[in-house]
Amino acid sequence: MGSKKDSEKITLNSFRKEYIWGFTQGNPKRMSDDKNGFYKLIQPLTGNNGTITIGASFHPYQIINQSGDDIWETLYKVIEANKFCDYNHLIEEKYFFHMNTPGPQAFPIGNWEDQRLYTEINPEFSRFVPFLIPYLTYNTLEDPLWLEKLHMGIATVGNAQEFIESVNIASRFLMPEPTFFIGFGVFEKNNPSELIDHYVDFLERHLKK
């Protein structure tokens, strides 16, 4: 008998739309073709799992295009249309596929209904500029590895600072200091404000004077 992976049709819904989020100073949209750098950054968050890394960071308002597709949907469609990657093989062999992105002009700032990241509303975001690094990883229906590591750090030493700092160090090939990562998430297209909440909640608790 074949496995569940053999019998199921692989679609975008077979993957989780995950991301790392934080703040930087200057340009939040940075690009790199350093496949190994992305592997070292993302693999500790996913473990050995079918994963697709995207060669860029983005401002949150860049991740949904004018057609309404988010960055994960766009990536999936481009790979599928051009047969850049065999998704079944990716999942079965639990390997990483890296996809470079076109230039920043392909990702204009969108007009979001939730406008809390605009500097006219929260001026602090001109200094602490929100960004995220997105990636796709096969949905095993288990908790994300990064969530397990966060819980383990809190359970053993009361915080997950060591784990988060290791992610910051691994990101330096793409995001120079004084960039700092704060956390991780799973993007839900039907609730995009959940992503914005991360930045605004941290701003209110730690950055506003």
Give a three-class secondary structure readout of the chain: CCCHHHHCCCCHHHEEEEEEEEEECCCCCCECCCHHHHHHHHHHHHCCCCEEEECECECHHHCECCCCCEHHHHHHHHHHHHCCCCHHHHHHHCCEEEECCCCHHHCCCCCCCCCCCCCCCCHHHHCCEEEEEEEEEECCCCCCHHHHHHHHHHHHHCCCHHHHHHHHHHHHHCCCCCCEEEEEEECCCCCCHHHHHHHHHHHHHHHCC
Q: How sure is the predictor about 104, in pLDDT bands with cuts at 50, 70 and 90?
A: low
pLDDT over threshold 80, residue 2? no
Q: How sure is the predictor about 208, in pLDDT bands with cuts at 50, 70 and 90?
A: confident
Average pLDDT over residues 61-90: 94
Sign of CA dihedral 184, 190, 196, 202: negative
Q: Please tell me the total number of residues recorded for the chain in this structure.
A: 209
Torsion of CA 75, 89, 44, 60, to 10 degrees: 10
| pLDDT on residue 71 | 95
Q: How sure is the predictor about 101, in pLDDT bands with cuts at 50, 70 and 90?
A: confident
Range of the domain at 186: 4-207
Cross-strand partners of 17: 136
**pLDDT tens digits, 16-60:** 999 999 999 989 999 999 999 999 999 999 999 999 999 999 999
Among residues 66, 59, 2, which one has the least CA distance to residue 28?
Answer: 59
**pLDDT tens digits, 135-188:** 999 999 999 999 999 999 999 999 999 999 999 999 999 999 899 999 999 999
| pLDDT on residue 4 | 46
| pLDDT on residue 58 | 95
Convert 15-47 to b/e letters by CB count within 10 Å (16 or more is b): bbbbbbbbbbeeebbbebeeeebbbebbbebbb
- Give the total number of structural domains in the chain: 1
Tokens of 70: 């988010």
| pTM > 0.85 | yes
pLDDT over threshold 60, residue 7? no
| pLDDT on residue 207 | 86
pLDDT over threshold 80, residue 105? no
How far from each other are the two terminal CA atoms of the chain, in whole angstroms?
62
**pLDDT tens digits, 112-139:** 999 999 999 999 999 999 999 999 999 9
